[in-house]
Amino acid sequence: MFNFFKRHPKPFNSGYLPTKDGHDVFFQEIGNPTGKPILVFHGGPGSQYKPKHAKMFNLKKYRIIGFDQRGSGQSKPYGKTENNTTGDILKDAKRLLDSLKIKKCMVSGVSWGSTVALLFAQKYPETVSQLAVGSIFLARDKDEDWCFNQSRIFYPDMMEKITSNAPSDYMTYYANLLKSKTQKDRIKAKRLLGEYESMVGSLNPSFSTETPTEEDIKKFGIFMHYSTHDYFLKDNQILNDTKKIKHIPTLILHNRLDMNCPVEQAWELHKALPKSKLIIVPELGHGGDLMRKTIKTTFGKFLK
């Protein structure tokens, strides 16, 4: 029999946190209302929490709590960058747990979600019982440089399209195009630089010929807002602060051929956390269904 719930888990609770700094943050809970709570950070920046993220875990056993970061998903206003920083994300997450009367929980995230999950644990270590993170992004200068510069050694043809007729500081150039009042400029930024990150790791990359929607452009605008502000972090902040979370059991998963975030990032994190377990998945690309499946099959065993 076709199991609709299994494919599309539905929330048992959802709503908005009280307005803060001009932002209304949307949240939802999926799974067992009386189960062990897991706070999930979504990727991006600029993406959103989706029910499929909850499928990484046993929905009969866990209470999955997710929220759309400021300016993203169902949070309002969509695309707003004012009062939108990494620190704000962490405070919203703590506000969410406090509103749900959760004093301690597991914390998880993939890609940018792993970044903010680790930062949350470092800021509120007393709140985190375990960590499960994947597709590690440490948000250092060299990590960003790899994704949008050094990776060109594998994609010189794609990068040429991005950098031709653009100044040497093409990141700032495209960031400014996104702020242009001319729609043609905003579309150009999203269609070129905005698509590059998603195609890194692809064996058959190509730029889309479809015109991006204004929603797509605003989503990329959130990403560029964080990228051009160094993710509102000090360089190497996460590894420098691992001493704050050395006591927390941590599961780390990473795809072997992740071209967006090379596996070295996961390795360095693992070596800095004595209570961590690293599983390198023999998979091409960044994140993906195999990553979610691996977390689901290993997380329960890791916590025993």
Give the end of a domain, one of 231, 258, 289: 231
pLDDT recorded at residue 7 = 67
Residue-level length of the chain:
304
DSSP bridge pairs for 36: 62
* 50 and 93 fall within a common domain: yes
Of residues 108, 111, 151, 227, which has the active-site annotation? 111
β-strands 11-16, 26-31 pairing: antiparallel
pLDDT recorded at residue 172 = 92
pLDDT recorded at residue 56 = 83
* 133 and 267 fall within a common domain: yes
* 209 and 246 fall within a common domain: no
Domain that holds residue 153: 142-231
Domain count, the chain: 2
Q: What number of CA atoms fall less than 13 Å from residue 259's CA on the CB side?
A: 19
Strand order in the sheet with 11-16: 11-16, 26-31, 62-67, 36-41, 105-110, 128-134, 250-257, 276-284
* 10 and 128 fall within a common domain: yes
**Alpha carbons 237 and 137: distance in angstroms, whole number:** 12
* 101 and 26 fall within a common domain: yes
Of residues 42, 53, 254, 286, which has the active-site annotation? 286
Of residues 68, 88, 92, 258, which has the active-site annotation? 258
* 205 and 247 fall within a common domain: no
pLDDT recorded at residue 203 = 87
* 245 and 116 fall within a common domain: yes
Q: Which two tokens stand for residue 283?
A: 């998979």
pLDDT per residue as tens, the chain (304 positions): 334 345 678 999 999 999 999 999 999 999 999 999 999 999 999 999 988 888 888 899 999 999 999 999 999 999 999 999 999 999 999 999 999 999 999 999 999 999 999 999 999 999 999 999 999 999 999 999 999 999 999 999 999 999 998 999 999 999 999 999 999 999 999 999 999 988 888 888 999 889 999 999 999 999 999 999 999 999 999 999 999 999 999 999 999 999 999 999 999 999 999 999 999 988 888 876 666 667 767 766 665 5
* 49 and 146 fall within a common domain: no
* 149 and 102 fall within a common domain: no
* 133 and 242 fall within a common domain: yes
As a whole number of Å, the CA-based R_g of the chain is 19
Whether 168 sits among the annotated catalytic residues: the reply is no
Whether 53 sits among the annotated catalytic residues: the reply is no
* 108 and 8 fall within a common domain: yes
* 34 and 167 fall within a common domain: no
Q: Which two tokens stand for residue 204?
A: 């058959």
DSSP secondary structure letters along 11-51? EEEEEEPPPBTTBB-EEEEEE-TTSEEEEEE--TTT----H
Give the end of a domain, one of 214, 231, 248: 231
pLDDT recorded at residue 201 = 84
Q: What are phi and psi of 254, to 5 degrees?
A: -155, 140
Give the end of a domain, one of 231, 255, 278: 231
DSSP secondary structure letters along 284-299? ESSS-HHHHHHHHHHH
**Alpha carbons 131 and 125: distance in angstroms, whole number:** 11
pLDDT recorded at residue 294 = 73
Is residue 123 within 8 A of residue 92, CB to CB? The reply is: no
CA dihedral 275→280→281→287, nearest 10 degrees, is 80
